[in-house]
Amino acid sequence: MEIYELTAREVADGIKAKKFSAEDVTRTCLARLSSLEGYLNACITVAEDSAVAKAREIDSRLARGDEIGPLAGVPYIAKDNFCSKGVRTTCSSKILENWTPTYDASAISYMNGAGAVLMAKSNLDEFAMGSSTENSIIGPTKNPRDLRRVPGGSSGGSAAAVAAGYCPIALGSDTGGSVRQPAAFCGIQGMKPSYGEVSRYGVVAYASSLDQVSPLARSVEDLAIAMEVLARPDPNDTTCDAYDRPKFSDSLSLRDLKGKRIGVFAGFGAEEIDADLYGALTSAAEHCRSAGAEIEPIDLPIAVKYGVATYYVTALADASSQLACYDGIRYGAHTDGQTLADMYSNTRTVSFGEEVRRRIILGTALLTEGYYQNYYGPALKVRTKMVKEFDDLFERFDAYLLPTSPSMPYMLGMKEEDPTRMYLGDVFTVPISLGGLPGINISMGLTGEGLPLSVQLVGQRYDDARLLGIASVIERLAGRPGIANPNLPQNAEKRRG
């Protein structure tokens, strides 16, 4: 097995056991990136020099017998909306195209402090607004399982990088499914933690009441290790809960699901969900049953019917407020104007992409007199009712199984003209975000054509550790995902020909 196929835990163990050096690992992963990046376009900036320097530092510390962290020498990639000191952070937007932060996001500080090596910053839809990673200043990222298809989004660069073996672990941000859906489309594991579990400090906001820092990996164990590094109180983020977190990796000792009750979503029939994904949901339920869990069908009528509309009202209103800080003075691009107002609107009109402009204008409308009373106000109440629906079900169940996406990864460039239909692709992920619940995309293998299958496991808020335990049992039965086709470049050449 090649080094780039190992999980983060295997890499960290191998470095500690001196089977290979941190520098070997980083150089191998950089070479893997270099060999595939021309096809995938998953990264906006590659921090080769600083990554190699950090890996050497880990090797020196290990040679001196110093204490090294749980992810020492493990290369990782962060979505390009995480502030990284000295490394350009663009959000895939012209407005931040040349912006280099003077500080690290807390999540980056924690990963670096645990010894992980920041290798690159990954592609995303501009300001995380999208579900396909096509809406970017560097162009679309391609799905490493099938280069003709999208990798999902908005954390599509991070998901493609992990699936392709650039690195064993990556950071993304999940607002309405932006880590779970690309993890599903690329055939890997991805976890959105409970809202408040991980600090958002230094992550460029799309919608602050929903955004969560979320890890992607090729094993549930790596997600648990990442959570141990990332989830902790942070006085720099007032939405980050100050409670003492459990030791997430302890949950991985769960051997079976005896005594657990798992609800399986039965609100849509096979005709409304892709047949292969419906089969994956059924298989996951069977795995839970064979592991000793009691399985019962559930429905989520409020979440499914009202979730997407509530999400867009909430997220767009949040976005219009959050993106007001791009004024042409404090951050990034600047376009002159005769008056201050001219300068603001010149900068924002020239430097935001079309989808971002549309969402900001719409969000502004939703917060004005009349629209607020008919949209934003009711959405706040529907959100309360949705949380109650979840809470009521959690009195009877330990976790739910749902699809992550109702459809398989679609073809690049297959633009959906009707935006509301496009948004319906998020029907199973956005309610989980609105409820602040933890959700894990679990790979369920590949179809005969090599396309990824997956299921979403959802738990009660703050029950992240127990959810990881249940996910690890399902993963043992379903099989851990491998890296995307190692013959990718040859296949790509044929396709291009």
Q: How far is the CB of 347 from other proteins (least distance, A)?
A: 8
- Residue with structure tokens 């962290």? 69
CB 141 within 8 A of CB 154: no
Minimum distance, C-beta of residue 85 to other proteins, in the bound complex (Å): 9
Q: Residue 364 CB, nearest distance to other proteins (Å)?
A: 4
- Give me the least distance between CB of 440 and other proteins, in Å please: 21
Q: How far is the CB of 362 from other proteins (least distance, A)?
A: 5
Cβ contacts of 67 within 8 Å, gap of 6 or more: 61
CA nearest to 220, candidates 486, 484, 478 = 478
Peptide bond into 154 cis (omega under 30): yes
Q: Are strands 117-122 and 75-79 parallel, antiparallel or unpaired?
A: parallel
What 8-state DSSP symbol labels residue 455? Answer: E
Nearer to other proteins, 79 or 383 (CB): 383
User: What's the CA gap between 437 and 192, in Å, rounded?
Assistant: 8
2 versus 391: smaller Cβ distance to other proteins: 391
Shortest distance (Å) from residue 366 CB to other proteins: 8
> Residue 69 or 176: which CB sits closer to other proteins?
176
Set 54, 79, 121, 260: catalytic member: 79
Sheet holding 169-174, edge to edge: 43-46, 117-122, 75-79, 169-174, 212-217, 189-192, 439-446, 452-459, 399-402, 261-265, 294-298
Cβ nearer to other proteins, comparing 393 with 422: 422
CB 402 → other proteins: shortest distance, Å?
20
Q: Least distance (Å) from other proteins to the CB of residue 150?
A: 21
Please give the Cα distance from 82 to 104 (Å, whole number).
8
For the question of residue 305 being annotated catalytic, the response is no
What are the backbone dihedrals phi and psi of residue 205, each rounded to the nearest 5 degrees, phi first?
-75, 140
Catalytic residue among 21, 84, 154, 155: 154
What residue has token string 């379903």?
Answer: 478
Please, which residue, 106 or 485, has the CB nearer to other proteins? Answer: 106
Q: How far is the CB of 339 from other proteins (least distance, A)?
A: 4
Active-site residue 154, yes or no?
yes
Among 92, 93, 109, 178, the one annotated catalytic: 178
User: Can you state the angle between helices 22-40 and 48-64, rounded to 10 degrees?
Assistant: 160
Question: How far apart, in Å, are the Cα atoms of 440 and each of 70, 85, 168?
Answer: 22, 29, 17
Q: Closest CB to other proteins among 292 and 419?
A: 419
* DSSP β-bridge partners for residue 174: 212
What span, in angstroms and rounded, lies between the C-alpha atoms of 291 and 13? 29
To the query of whether residue 18 is one of the catalytic residues in this protein, the response is: no
Q: Give whichever of 233 and 292 is closer to other proteins, judged by the CB atom.
A: 233
Q: Which is nearer to other proteins, 29 or 379 (CB)?
A: 379
Query: Is the CB of 53 or the CB of 361 nearer to other proteins?
Result: 361
- Are 197 and 237 within 8 A, CB to CB? no
80 contacts: CB under 8 Å, gap ≥ 6 = 44, 45, 89, 90, 91, 92, 121, 122, 123, 124, 157
Angle made by CA atoms 163, 164, 170, in degrees to the nearest 5: 55
Backbone angles phi, psi at 464, to 5 degrees: -60, -40
User: Do 291 and 283 contact (CB within 8 A), yes or no?
Assistant: no
DSSP-assigned letter for residue 143 = B
**Residue 476: is it exposed, middle or buried by C-beta count within 10 angstroms (0-12/13-18/19+)?**
middle
Provide the annotated active-site residues: 79, 154, 178
